[in-house]
Amino acid sequence: MKPAPAHSADQAITVGATAVAVTEAVPASVEAKQATVISSRILAQIKKIHVRAGDSVRTGELLVELEKSDLEAKAQQAAEQVRGVSARLREARQSLDRITELYQRKLVARAELDRARANFDSLTAELAGARQAGEEAEAALAFSEIRAPIDGRVVDRFAEPGETASPGAKLLSLYNPLTLRVEAQVREQLALALELGQGLLVDIPSLNKTVDAVIEERVPAADPGSRSFLIKARVQYDKDMLPGMYARMLVPAGTEQQLLIPADRVVEVGQLNLLWVLENGQAYRRFVRVGKSLGDQVEVLAGLNPGEQVLPRQ
């Protein structure tokens, strides 16, 4: 190729290899550190559900009301039982006191005293049992109102009023949006170099955002199938970020040598890229393959070697 007229060497820049930190994009997902499933502890019909998916709730807020007429009746019955046994126990105490006094004056037999004491002890035990039953009835009544255990957001609603809630069957699911983090299976060669508290970047493609993250946990056992470790990194609160979103954890992967030149020295010709190289005082056109842009510089992947001189556009 015929060279262009000679250029002054002070217009050329000498290309050098630069060590640049590189990262490996690891598929990840957004998860909530604090999440819970709401279920009933008793078998009862659902009367009301006060929230739906997407609603925000506070700790202690009433979420679900269960039918409680039967529970209220049992609690009332238990309370009446306690009152009845308490009255009989007071009478037994008075009787025991009288018989004890008479026995001390040797006016009644020992057997009479023993019967009075046995009756008193029996009623004492019966009162304890009645009180225990009353506490259980009150606890069951309290279970008819299901309240939020954490501040958070409702993810999903699995039941509707009129249905029967069974013990352990899920009714709602909640998560705390302030505790979101990103979890990824990182290959062991990279994972073992990571440390707790280390910062890194996380890319959220659906939001077109790259956010800062801090490693807070590395599960101390590798997955034998993939030879990778589960890495969990905390991210700052973002109202648009939701559990289950796809993410890419940008894990540090050492450095690599890159050839960087000013982007304004590359000429685009259709889908090709070329630049002018100074050789023996002459400018020669050369086609190159470029990579990603880094600020006002661009990476040259092929067609240029370290030590060569690049001229401005012709």
- CA dist 73 and 80 (Å) reads 11
Contacts for 273 with CB less than 8 Å, ≥ 6 apart: 266, 267, 287, 288, 289, 290
CB atoms within 10 A of CB 250: 18
CA distance 219 to 33: 14
The amino acid occupying position 214 is: V
pLDDT at 4 over 60: no
Q: Each residue of 137-151: pLDDT tens digit?
A: 888 888 899 999 999
* More confident site: 271 or 38: 38
pLDDT given for residue 297 in this prediction: 76
Confidence label for 2 from pLDDT (cuts 50, 70 and 90): very low
The predicted structure's pLDDT at residue 47: 93
Under the banding of pLDDT at 50, 70 and 90, the label for residue 6 is very low
Residue with tokens 């890229």: 273
pLDDT tens across 256-287, in order?
A: 777 777 777 777 777 877 777 777 777 778 87
Higher per-residue confidence, 268 vs 172: 172
Residue 39 above 70 pLDDT?
yes
Give yes or no for residue 1 having a pLDDT over 80. no
Report the alpha-carbon distance of residue 236 to residue 215 in Å, rounded: 12
Q: Which residues contact 284 (CB under 8 A, 6 or more apart)?
A: 1, 3, 4, 276, 277, 278
Confidence of residue 8 (pLDDT cuts 50, 70, 90): low
As a whole number, the mean pLDDT across the chain is: 86
Assess whether pLDDT exceeds 70 at residue 32: yes
Secondary structure (3-state) at 176: coil
More confidently predicted of 276 and 206:
206
Percent composition of the chain: helix, strand, coil (DSSP 3-state, to 5): 25, 45, 30
Note if the pTM is more than 0.85: no
**94-118: b or e for each residue (b if 16 or more CB lie within 10 Å)?**
eebeebeeebeeeebeeeebeebee
Three-state SS at 118: helix
Distances (CA, A) of 134 to 87, 131, 141, 180, 239: 16, 5, 10, 42, 46
230 falls in which pLDDT band (50, 70, 90)? very high
- Average pLDDT for residues 108-124, to the nearest whole number? 89
Q: How many residues does the chain have?
A: 314
pLDDT at position 57 over 90: yes
Residue 304 has pLDDT above 80, yes or no: no
Q: What does the pLDDT read at residue 31?
A: 92
User: What is the token pair recorded at 239?
Assistant: 């109202």
Q: Is the confidence at residue 61, as pLDDT, over 90? A: yes
Longest dimension (CA), the chain: 141
Mean per-residue pLDDT for 237-247?
90
pLDDT for res 60: 92
